């Protein structure tokens, strides 16, 4: 498709009293999409400390012609291949097609789309929400057995995290198929600059001067242990390595998942 075609996305949520709701809720990692988005201005990686939810996503973040592997920053390696350590193959692909660097880290097309195509093709059912729903709607997780996090779910607000913690304490499940999960803490902000009722994403100031520009790492925020579905569990956000951080839950008794391969 040429540049005379643009793409937009919206998420239709089920009513809380809908008896046809799915057993699981897939929360699209839209906070991360916005954090990386450079359309019309700066992202949280290019000098900004606030980004608007009211602007379009950059070219290729929602749709682009499908390719096998070259559109991923961490390109999968096949047996006997040399890994693309410096991302040269990805950078060549995205510059040739004039895509922003963000497509390798965020957006619907790279991670969530692939998961949804596989899961729905395998017969799994789930409803949808976006990152900010968990903070702004106290009933967003009500009635769901499992909350799913997929892809690169890096940017979370404190309210979003509290909603998931409360869900776990009520006996609910959380399944993370995401890398770098819950690494940076951000704040949802109703800014007059974006117009009435328009939501923005504001980076939380660091805990100390000189810490990575206007963002706070969740792993540096002390958290109390979680109660994982009635089992005592411990969370170790302060000692987790980059890429697997923020809320690892280690049950003190075995946990099994039924119906999984």
So what's the pLDDT on residue 32? 94
Given a cut of 60, whether residue 247 has pLDDT beyond it is no
193-226 pLDDT, tens digit each:
545 444 566 766 543 333 333 445 655 554 544 4
Return the number of other C-beta atoms located less than 10 Å from residue 29's C-beta.
26
Residue 157 pairs in a beta bridge with 186
Q: Determine what percent of the chain is predicted with pLDDT higher than 70.
A: 72
Which pair of tokens denotes residue 240? 């987790």
Which pair of tokens denotes residue 204? 């939380």
So what's the pLDDT on residue 253? 44
Given a cut of 60, whether residue 160 has pLDDT beyond it is yes
Which pair of tokens denotes residue 180? 């770098």
Return the number of other C-beta atoms located less than 10 Å from residue 177's C-beta.
15
Q: DSSP strand E in 14-53: where?
A: 24-28, 50-52
């Amino acid at each position: 498709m040429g540049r005379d075609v643009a793409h937009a996305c919206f998420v239709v949520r089920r009513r809380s009293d809908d008896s046809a709701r799915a057993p699981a809720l897939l929360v699209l990692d839209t906070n991360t999409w916005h954090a990386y988005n450079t359309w019309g201005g700066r992202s949280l990686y290019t000098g900004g400390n606030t980004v608007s939810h009211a602007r379009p996503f950059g070219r290729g973040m929602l749709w682009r012609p499908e390719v096998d592997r070259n559109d991923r920053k961490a390109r999968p390696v096949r047996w006997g291949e040399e890994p693309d350590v410096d991302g040269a193959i990805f950078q060549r692909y995205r510059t040739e097609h004039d895509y922003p660097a963000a497509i390798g880290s965020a957006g619907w097309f790279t991670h969530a789309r692939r998961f949804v195509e596989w899961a729905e093709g395998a017969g799994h059912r789930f409803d949808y929400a976006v990152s900010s729903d968990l903070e702004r709607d106290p009933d967003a997780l009500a009635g769901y057995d499992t909350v799913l996090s997929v892809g690169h779910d890096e940017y979370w607000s404190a309210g979003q995290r509290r909603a998931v913690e409360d869900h776990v304490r009520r006996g609910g499940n959380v399944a993370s198929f995401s890398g770098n999960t819950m690494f940076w803490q951000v704040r949802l902000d109703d800014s007059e600059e974006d117009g009435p009722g328009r939501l923005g994403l504001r980076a939380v100031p660091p805990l100390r001067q000189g810490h990575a520009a206007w963002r706070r790492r969740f792993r540096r925020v002390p958290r109390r242990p979680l109660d994982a579905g009635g089992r005592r569990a411990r969370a170790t956000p302060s000692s987790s390595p980059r890429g697997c951080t923020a809320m690892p839950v280690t049950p003190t008794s075995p946990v099994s998942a039924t119906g999984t391969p």
